[in-house]
Amino acid sequence: MTIEVCVFDAYGTLFDVAAAARQAASEPGQDRLAAIWPELAEDWRRKQLEYSWLRAVTGDYVPFWQVTCDGLDWAMDRAGLDDPELRERLLALYWELAAYRDVPGTLARLKAAGKACAILSNGSRDMLEGAVDSAGIGLYLDAVLSVDAVGVFKPAAAVYDLVGARFGCAREAVLFVSSNGWDAGCAASYGFRSVWVNRSGQPQDRLMASPAHVLSDLATLPDLL
C-alpha cells in the first residue's frame, strides 16, 4: 500500500532532547553543570520515559510536563545539584528545544512529494506547540497529535489510533518514524510501517515486532518512499 501519511515522534526524533542541558551548561556560572551535562541529560530523558511507561501501566495519567519535571528532579538529585534557579532555567529551555539539522530538509522533501506530515507524541499539546514554533517547522506539519487527547502514554494502542482518526487512513498507509526503538517496534506491531532513527547506534530492542527500516538519521528517509 502506498504511504499517505508520515508521522513522527517528537522528542529525540525531531527535537534534540539534550539541547536544554547543553545550552544551560554553556552559560556563565555553570562550570559544574558543564562537567556533567551529558550524564544529566541522559538521566533526565531516561526517567522521563520510565515515568511515562509506569503511568501508562497504572493508569495514573498526568500531562507530560509533569513527568518531565519529575525526571529532571531525579536527575538533578542524582547529580547532587540543589539549584532551584538552574532547575527553572533547564525547564524553560525544554520549551525551546532545537530541531536536529536534518529535520527541516526532510520534512520539506516529504511535503514536496505530496505526503501529509504529523507529529504523534507523548508531549503535552502546549509543549509541542512551543517546540514546533521555536524550531520553525510548523509550515511542514498537517497535524500535531498529543496523548492529551486520550489520557495515556505510548505505546498504548489508543495513542496510535489518533493517526487514523485524524487522517482517515489505513494503518498500512502510515510511515511512523521514531528515534526510540521501543516506539518503532510497538508501532510496527500496531500495523504501521515503521522506521527507527537510531541516532546513537543502540542495539535493537527485542520486542514483538521490528521496524521495517533502520536509519542513522532522517536525511535519507524520503528515499524510502
- Residues annotated as catalytic are 9
Contact between 188 and 212 (Cβ < 8 Å): yes
**Cis peptide preceding 155, ω within 30 of 0:** yes
Q: Answer positive or negative: Cα dihedral of 99, 105, 111, 115.
A: negative
Contact between 138 and 108 (Cβ < 8 Å): no
Beta bridge pairs of residue 195: 177, 213
In angstroms, the CA 93 to CA 91 distance is: 5
